[in-house]
Structures are given as structure tokens and as C-alpha cells.
Amino acid sequence: MTSEAPAFLDPRTGKYFPLLTLAWRSPEGHPLMMTPMEGLTRREIRKEQRSIWRYSAALPVDAAGAVSLGEGLTPLVPATIDGISCRLKLEWFSPTGSFKDRGASVLISHLRALGIDRVVEDSSGNGGAAIAAYGAAAGMRVGIFAPAYTQPAKIAQARAYGAEVTLVPGTRQDTEEAAMRAAETTYYASHNWHPMFLQGTKTLGFEIWEDLGFRAPDNVIIPTGAGSNVLGCHMAFRELLAAGEISRMPRIFVTQPENCCPIHAALHPAWRGGAPLEVHPTVAEGTAIRAPIRLQELVAAIRDTGGSSAAVPEANIIGAARLLASKGFYTEPTSAHAFAGLKHLVATGVITDGEETVVVLTGSGLKATQFYAEQFAEVP
């Protein structure tokens, strides 16, 4: 534990930057992280706060200026599906329908405190909706750049919040580059780049710990693209360990679509004989990030916990989405592959059914209406 004031850190150069900096990356172009914080004790939880701001003692933003829509406190539901017992963390109960509200609340609160009133963001859907919503709540002007292939429901949601949406042809990388060019005349409130977003996703780990009666589970399974939930949970449980609130780290497992799985490939260099990663379209579009900017940090965090990963074929992602829906859990294909990954990890003996495993379901099936309409279209 440290008593020093928190600061931004470039872990690749060791350079520190004050929290008041307007920079969203280091001068060398590296993603920033946050220096380790003191952690959280159960006595510091503000139980009267029905949002992530109940954990404000562990957040580097003044809670008095919080931009909140009631994010967090999502259900953790015990379930047995296909003979596998687990707990499903239903993050789609968030105000905009995905986990990204956690990061957006902290990031937009931080930016408003700095006096920023115009932002741009790039997103395949959920991140853009979250930044648009919280930007609206903060009175900011918001521009969202999204890939042209993004689900129409997600685009409509961002526009409904008042954001100006620009659809970008090409790859997810093309969209990010377009947003960066626009950020030359405004501020880049990137959920992928800005370290304050990770401070918001950190509350997911705190919440799982509180949900379980102030215990860490054995395993946390997270569907992953850029990895903000992975790094957030890793930070949360590390801080809880430092504060003496837990005695061990849970294992963190990542699931990715086999058609776009750079984290899995980095964790398993011999996968597919070490051949270069091939990227193809996937129904799990929200996790189709071919080059995560914090790949080094993600691999280190997963290995630190003794976790691993699973790459899920398209048929298994679709099957998991349909299976979960048949049990009442209407989730995006983007997050359904977390359960498909759990099935694989149980089948291969990496996880045993007797362990306490939390599966994070990150977004609502309402975000993927077209996918389900096609799945259950009536055939003449």
C-alpha cells in the first residue's frame, strides 16, 4: 500500500504524470495506467449510495462532482446451465445497457472537473452509448465515431442521447484513427485509451467482492476486446488484497471470438502452430479488437492471477447466446461467448464445477435485436 497521491503512469517507461494533465496517452504514444491505490475496506463503503460511487474511497475523483445515472449494483444470479453451476453478473442492468457505464461515469466526472465541455469517442457501440449518455448528463457536446457495421440499435441509442454520430467505413482501427483526427480540435474521451475509464471498471471487482459477502470467487470469466474489465478487476482485487480484505486473488479468464482473439494468441503463442493471427468478421462485434492497446498489460494481469483464456468458434458463440436466452438471460453475442468459454474450460478440466465462478455478461440482447431477429425468423 502507498500513501502517495495517485498519478498517471506509463508502465512501459516508468514516467509519472499528474491527474490534472489533459493527456490521454504518454508523449511516447503509450497507454497510461494509474499508480497503485491504497485499496478499499468494507467499512469505507458508502452504503447509502446506490451506485458505483459507494466505492468512492477507492476512486481518484471527487465524489461530490460525480456524474452518475445510478450505474452499478447489477445482479449476481446463481445459475445451473447445461449442468454447469456458476454466478452470472448481469451488467446489462446498467443505465445504457452495458458495463461501460461504470467507466463512463468516472471518466466523464473527471473531465467535467477539468472544465472540458466537448469530447469525441470511437466505439463499436456500447462505449459510444455510455459516453454519449454521461456526456449528456454532464452537459457536454459529444461526437461518436463508429464502424459502419455497428448494430443499428446501438447507433440509434447514441443519437438519442444527442451525440453526433459519424459512421466510418473499414476496420475498427479506421474508426479509432478518424476519432483521433477529430480530437485534434476537441478532447478524446476514449474508453479504450483513458486510464480513468479503468478506474470505473474497477468497481466491478469491488462489487463482486461485496456481492459474495466480502469474498473473492475462485474464477472470474470476462468476454474481452480491449480489456477494460480485465484490468479493472485485476486492479480491484489487487487493492483488496493490499487492504487485507481478501487472502488470495481470483483467477481471471478471458474469452474471445476465435475469429478475432489477439489476447488468446498472445497467451498461447503455440496456438495454431504459432501461425500469424488471422482476423475475420464475428457476431461478437463488441469484442472484435484486433490490436488491444494494452495487450502487454492484459497478458501480465491474466498471468498474475494464474488465469488463462479460451477462443470460441462462431457456432459456439451463437449456440451460447441461444442457450442463455432459453434460460431467460437475453445477452449480446459479444458477451455470450463468456459462457461458451466456461463450458470449454470445464470440459478441459481447467475449471472444476465445484469452484465458485463468476461469468460477466456485459451487454443486453436488446443491443443485438437484428441478430436475434435473424436467429428466430419464421421460415415459410
* pLDDT score recorded for residue 19: 94
According to DSSP, the residues that pair with 88 across neighbouring strands are 77, 359
Please, where in the chain does CATH 3.40.50.1100 lie? 76-98+195-375, 99-188
Q: Is the pLDDT of residue 1 over 50?
A: no
Tens-digit pLDDT profile for residues 61-116: 999 999 999 999 999 999 999 999 999 999 999 999 999 999 999 999 999 999 99
pTM: 0.95
Q: Is the pLDDT of residue 312 over 90?
A: yes
* pLDDT score recorded for residue 118: 97
Mean pLDDT, residues 341-350 taken together: 97
Tens-digit pLDDT profile for residues 103-122: 999 999 999 999 999 999 99
* pLDDT score recorded for residue 353: 83
Quick one: cell of 149?
A: 457495421
* pLDDT score recorded for residue 3: 45
Tens-digit pLDDT profile for residues 316-328: 999 999 999 999 9
CATH topology (fold) of 76-98+195-375:
Rossmann fold (3.40.50)
Tens-digit pLDDT profile for residues 134-182: 999 999 999 999 989 887 888 999 999 999 999 999 887 889 999 999 9
Q: State percent of the chain over pLDDT 90.
A: 87
Q: Is the pLDDT of residue 363 over 80?
A: yes
Quick one: cell of 8?
A: 498517471
Give the class (CATH, top level) of 99-188.
alpha beta
